[in-house]
Every structure is written in C-alpha cells, then in structure tokens.
Structure 1
C-alpha cells in the first residue's frame, strides 16, 4: 500500500493512555507505519487544563526529544533542574535522552504541542504511550 505523505491532525484518531483518564490525547502523525519514516517521529499532543500526561517521563539514549508549543500555556519541569519553566505558543523545548521531564497545562484552554523524536521506537519500554497504543490498537497509525 502507498504510504501517506500528507497527514492532517483532524484525520488522525486521538489516543488517550489509560493513566491520563482522557486528559492527554496523542495523535501520531509521522512514524514507521503510516508514512514509512524510519528516522523521524512526530506526535501532536493535547493536554487538558490543569493536567499532565502522567508523571515524569524518561527516554533512554538515543532518544533526544523536542516539544514545540502550538497553543496554550504550560509548565515544563526537568528531573535534573529545580526550576520550573513557563512555556507558551511558539516555544521550542529540548529534552536530552535520559532526562526526566514533565509538562503540565497551567492555562484555562487546551495545551497543544508537537513532540519530535529522532526515530520511531522499535523496542518496548521507550515510550509508554506508544507501547499502550500498539497493544490496544495493533498499530500506531489510525485514521478517524
């Protein structure tokens, strides 16, 4: 089957991990199954006001990660830094591999952001949301 090249957020089914109770919605836009990308993963994330995706996340080498805020206001925390950072629209955030991190929506509207990964995780345990979606759906790329 021909792989997608153009992916619209509204056409991708949102996945909410069980621990987030609907507060966090992940839409996998670019990865190995939908577009055939072996070197890049792009996720559109929506976080409800007052919520976080579920504690500090950590991804091992070589999984550096970047966030890009599209809408809303968040608080970004890193496990190796006592300071919390306010982040909002048009802000990029770099998370080096192995760094615990958490984003919380501190605004009154949805916080929307992109998460950018250097490659699609091939093995379990790198990204819990990715693993749970695959277990429940049998795939990570599903259109509405």
Structure 2
C-alpha cells in the first residue's frame, strides 16, 4: 500500500543542499567509532557510531539535555535508562528521554555495535560517574 501522509505541495524546501560525510572508516579493523554533528548539514540531529569487543564495556553513566535513540546494529546490550534496565539485540531500538541518566554495556558474546542518534545539532553531555584521572 502506498503511503500519503502529507501533501508534498505543503512543504517548501529551505535551500539546504544534499550532503555527505563520513561517520566512521569501514576499512579500519575493529568496532566502528565516530560522530557527525548535525551542524555539518544544518540538521537538528547528531549521529554517533559506538562499538566495543569487550564484554561488560560501554559508555559511562551520563545525561543529555535532549532525547537520544540507540539502534543496536550488532550484538546485545544492557541499557540502564533512569530506573529501567532494558536488554536489546540486533535490530532493536532503545529510547532515552532528555534529562534521564543512562549508560549501556556489551552483553556479548562478541562485538556490540550501535548507532546513537542525538536529537540535537551538537553532542552535549555531562558524565555523572567520576573516574579518577591520575595527574599528568
């Protein structure tokens, strides 16, 4: 069935050109890592690629002033979003609301690879768990 959710004549292009940029280097060995600010295209969405081969490893507990959507591309992850714990596998999507602390970890076996969509033109984050950093 064809979709017709709106009348295309009701939208006026804003003049931004199509664009392209690299999020990660697919030729490099190992998990994908990279970020692409929405500002690159004048967009309100920033995209991150996150991957790890280490079981139990993932981003530290943090919070954003905007929503974040996680797409599990490969592997399995345990997400901690506020007081909720969610397990997600390849092809599943997890939503983290603005202002709610969150983190996730690789459940294994093998690689965890996610694409993380920050609903903001730039990546803004406050880490909440402090890790001691030795003085330089």
Q: TM-score, normalised by structure 2?
A: 0.65
Root mean square deviation, CA, Å: 3.0
Q: CA deviation at 1:121?
A: 2.8
CA deviations over 1:37-92 (Å, ceiling 9, x no partner): 331111111123221212x11112xx1110000001111112233xx221110001
- Secondary structure at 2:43 match in 1: coil
Q: Give the aligned partner of residue 67 of structure 2.
A: 64
The answer on 1:28 being equivalent to 2:64 is no
Contact 1:31 1:120 in 2 (8 A): yes
Mind listing any 5+ residue stretches in structure 1 that lack a counterpart? 14-23, 130-144
Q: Give the paired residue count.
A: 108
Q: Give the aligned partner of residue 45 of structure 1.
A: 50
Higher helix share: 1
Choose 1 or 2 for highest CA Rg. 2
Runs of 4 or more consecutive aligned structure 1 residues displaced over 4 Å after TM superposition: none
Change (3 A) 1:12 1:57: farther
Mind listing any 5+ residue stretches in structure 2 that lack a counterpart? 1-16, 128-136
Contact 1:12 1:29 in 2 (8 A): no
1:111-126 correspondence runs (5 A):
111-121=112-122, 126=124
Q: CA deviation at 1:27?
A: 0.3
Q: TM-score, normalised by structure 1?
A: 0.62
